[in-house]
Structure 1
Amino acid sequence: MFPGYLTLWLFLIFAFPQSTFPQSTYFPAAGDKWERRTPQQAKIDAVKLKEAVDFAVASESKAPRNLELAHYQTFGREPFGEAIGAFKERGDATGIILRNGYIVAEWGDPQRVDMTFSVTKSFLSTVVGLAFDRKLIKSLQEPVRNYSAPVSIYQTTEKYDDAEKFGKSRLLELFETEHNRKITWEHLLRQTSDWEGTLWGKPDWADRPDKDANNWLNRKRNEPGAVYEYNDVRVNVLALAALNVWRRPLPQVLKEFVMDEIGASNTWRWFGYENSWIVMDGLPAQSVSGGGHWGGGMFISARDMARFGLLTSQNGK
């Protein structure tokens, strides 16, 4: 995630213990009629609340609002850092503060859809959690390989009688190396898998690469579960593995089981990459990304994000 971008999407969900604040949490119905409370009604210091809002507005990232340009000034300078997904110019700093579900402060343009970068990972972990709840995944400690079918990349120009590719598999198999066979769902969810390989044209070592280029192709392999490393290639591996389990695009899963249930608008979109299309049960399906590292990811409004945050603060209830 680009440094400072989260301040542009400041969704402060005030979830205090019920023993301290006995009011029941309100959840808004679908649509724009979200009830509000004054700071006094919510028992919040109005002066400090204003200071928090002013701080958020003043703390906008100094990176360009043209997020494609911002990409090429940062991650785009890494090896294989070319953008392969959509970018959207960001709007004004925007946020919502909730107390017991009621809006007590709001600024910017809460209906505007913007990129959320690595906040997308919260949505990805949610659809994996839904698969676990529905017994599509029996145990998070089970190897992901047990759930992984060969993946056929969707390429309309692919020629299967190409002599130069004779004898080479046209299928994508993510967990067939000795190292990757040991990776569990929990390892991927916790970013401790140390998955090795290349996905959607991005090698695992190329995301935030070692400062010493001599280590890029000969890096030490850590035992799955032993070392945490923030890595978007491996998050995208999780997204493709989840697509394999659900056998349907993950945005459809999220919409049916979460976003429609919480009354979200119909304006959010979850994108993958121009080259992350596969064939699933005879139909093209895009494997979404777990962030906006190379473009794509979750594009959503502050209002819809606040609904999702409120759901999370209530443990999904």
Structure 2
Amino acid sequence: MKNHSFNFSVFLIFFFVLALPAQETYFPPRGNWQQKEASVYGLDLTEAVKFAMDNEYSESRDLRQAILKGFQSEPYHKILGPTKRRGGPAGLILKKGYIVAEWGDIERVDMTFSVTKSFLSTTALLALQQKFITSVNDTVADYLWDDTFEGPHNSKITWKHLLQQNSDWSGELWGSYDWADRPPSNENIDQWRARQLHEPGTYFKYNDVRVNVLAYSLLNVFRKPLPKVLKEEIMDPIGASTKWRWFGYDNSWITIDGLKIQSVSGGGHSGGGMFINTKDMARFGLLFMNNGNWDGKQLLSKSLVEEAMQSSIPNPNYGYMWWLNAQGPRQWKNIEEDIFYAAGFGGNFIIVDQKNSLVVVTRWLEPSKVEEFMQILYKNI
């Protein structure tokens, strides 16, 4: 009888534990963020944090010099927008929204380079959500008044092609030519400039000029600055600081409705792009970890977020300007395949793991070391 009573007590405890609701995601209010020990979740992040601190991006902290060196093989490359001297390694790890690890100066605003592309694609999702764009498969030419998408090739390009970087758009924008961006090293410039264009949607090419064409096109659709759109619809609702800035180039100004507006860039390849601190990057990642929902408010529809993380046909590791850890040439080995992340020059990353309720932000981690960093991190996850 005594044993039966003991077994029944254990059963009751087990039943009530199972009946308790799963711990919900914590959404930090503006200016405040609760922390928890990683051990609460059975995590030991000491080794991963030390690795991030010990493997700083090896190029100059003077980012103007790092940019010029990094893209010195590009013909006519020059700095067109603002740059900023960077800080040292910094990062945050969130579990269910709580800070469970941090390192470096997480309040410092730095350039974030191509992480900006994921912010840009978010404004495209907002344009779809608000019906400024009817369908991602619409041709962009149907939405613009000028000749940006004229011609037999460019006229076939859709919003989806631009978002997945497989449009092969051909032309010049803000004094930069599409063919001069990251040309192949095995061809001379005349050969590359005269190359045969690929059918839109069939060939992936990472290209900042075409990304800037998307930003310019979205500006024409919204008829107001994209940083203002992002601030009102995303950054303010998620409690981001007032310190982030999104720049274009000195010459990327147009007039709409009598107002002079800057068309922003999708990265810092030629200067400009998103200047932001680590904490605001983590808030942005937390929004996507929760499928566009922030503390009960659906800022981005779940279906659009899921659509943005689908592999494109020519590149299984790329969605709507988010990198995907799906099987493919860029997959991080021994890491969850459904992870997605934003990545930028110099080792800037926002990594989202929905399955494990994790967001990881790293700044100035040597890019070749990020896979090893993630493998260390996932040893006990």
Please report the TM-score for the alignment, with normalisation by the length of structure 1: 0.84
Q: CA deviation at 1:39?
A: 1.5
Q: State the structure with more CA Rg.
A: 2
Structure 1 vs Structure 2 CA RMSD: 1.1
Contact 1:42 1:104 in 2 (8 A): no
Question: Structure 2: which amino acid aligns with 1:38?
Answer: E
Q: Does 1:65 align with 2:61?
A: yes
Tell me the CA shift for residue 217 of structure 1.
2.0
Distance in 1 (alpha carbons) for counterparts of 2:217 and 2:38: 45
Alignment match, 1:88: 84
The 2-side partners of 1:219 and 1:77 are apart by 18
Distance (whole Å) between structure 1 residues aligned to residue 60 and residue 173 of structure 2: 28
Asked if the contact 1:96/1:110 (under 8 Å) is kept, the reply is: yes
Matched, 1:192 2:166: yes
Q: In structure 1, what residue type is equivalent to 2:212? A: N
Distance in 2 (CA, whole Å) between partners of 1:39 and 1:306 is 17
Who is 1:252 aligned against? 228
Matches within 5 A, 1:30-69: 30-31=30-31, 33-44=32-43, 46=44, 49-69=45-65
In the alignment, which residue of structure 2 is the partner of 1:16?
A: none
Q: Tell me, in whole angstroms, the C-alpha distance in 2 between the residues paired with 1:101 and 1:41.
A: 13
- Once the two structures are TM-superposed, the CA of residue 40 in structure 1 deviates from its matched residue by 1.9
Q: CA deviation at 1:98?
A: 0.5
Aligned-partner SS, 1:194: coil
TM-score (normalizing by structure 2): 0.70
Alignment partner, residue 166 of structure 1: none
Among residues 149, 155, 162, which one is paired with 1:181 in the alignment?
155
Deviating runs (4+, > 3 A) in structure 1?
Answer: none
- In structure 1, the partner of 2:99 is 103
Distance 1:79 1:225 in 2: 26
Q: CA deviation at 1:77?
A: 4.1
What secondary structure does 1:286 align onto? strand
Query: Does the residue aligned with 2:101 lie in a helix, a strand or coil?
Result: strand
Helix, strand or coil at the partner of 1:82: coil
Identical amino acids, percent of aligned pairs: 56
SS in 2 for 1:41: helix
> How many residues are treated as equivalent by the alignment?
271
Letter in 2 for 1:209: P
Q: For each residue in 1:117-162, what CA deviation from the matched residue of structure 2 results, as whole angstroms up to 9, or x when unmatched?
A: 0000000000000000011000000100000123xxxxxxxxxxxx
Question: Cα distance, 1:74 vs. partner?
Answer: 1.8
Q: How does 1:269-280 map to 2 (within 5 A)?
A: 269-280=245-256
Report the counterpart of residue 137 of structure 2 in structure 1.
141
Counterpart in the other structure of 1:14: none
1:280-291 equivalences under 5 Å are 280-291=256-267
Aligned residue for 2:108?
112
SS in structure 2 at match of 1:96: strand
Q: What's the counterpart of residue 27 of structure 1? A: 27
Letter in 2 for 1:145: A
Per-residue deviation, 1:42 = 2.5
Equivalents in 1 of 2:59, 2:136: separation in Å?
A: 38
Q: Unpaired runs of 5+ in structure 2?
A: 1-20, 294-381
State the distance in 2 between where 1:222 and 1:88 align: 37
